[in-house]
Structure 1
Amino acid sequence: MKATLDAAGRIVVPKALRQTLGLKPGQALDIRAGDGRLEIEIAATPVQLKKRGKGVVAVPDTKLPALSAEQVRDTLERVRR
């Protein structure tokens, strides 16, 4: 897909890509440049490690949306393989 840089230096990510990747307005992205390329990745969610009972869990710094039933099923299928 092609995109155009505007006068302010912005790039619009085509709607089809935003939908495929689940990108939302205001979402943080990591941008890197090198070898004549520009790479954009969805930024990792910052987390804090906290003790819970006898274990440690990762607690996100910001509220995350709830997973859909389909996302839970897909994740469980991948983990069980």
Structure 2
Amino acid sequence: MVTVDSKGRIVLPQEVRERLGLTPGTEVDVRERDGKAVVDPEDDPEAILERMERLVAETAASGGDTTPLDEGAPPVARKHRDAVRRGADSDE
């Protein structure tokens, strides 16, 4: 049994992560289905990159200033981007 913390986070048990192939940086889709929370790993790195680019474009279109990822982004954002790109490259 896991507990939801004050920020809504949970830690999936190690055996579940291993069975599903969830590693640090894996994108997951969380949604409600029939009154239950369902977590599905995103297994298409290209889809992740497209979603990231779409979100950046939507943010820019809403009038906010954006900073290119390589210029001033937090290290965790760059690390995540690099992990996604490595996954995309390994599928080719």
- Give the TM-score taking structure 2 as reference length: 0.48
Q: What is the root-mean-square deviation of aligned Cα atoms in Å?
A: 2.6
Which residue does the alignment assign to 1:70? none
Hey, which of these two has a bigger chunk of helix by percent? 2
State the number of aligned residues. Answer: 54
More strand by share: 1
Tell me: higher relative CO, structure 1 or 2? Use CA pairs within 8 A at least 6 residues apart: 2
Letter in 1 for 2:29: D
Q: Name the SS for the 1:62 alignment partner.
A: helix
Identity of aligned residues (%): 33
Greater radius of gyration (CA): 1
Q: Which runs of no fewer than 5 residues in structure 2 stay unpaired? A: 48-83
Aligned pair 1:62/2:85, yes or no? yes
Q: Distance in 1 between matches of 2:21 and 2:43?
A: 14
Superposition misfits of 4+ residues, deviation over 6 angstroms: none
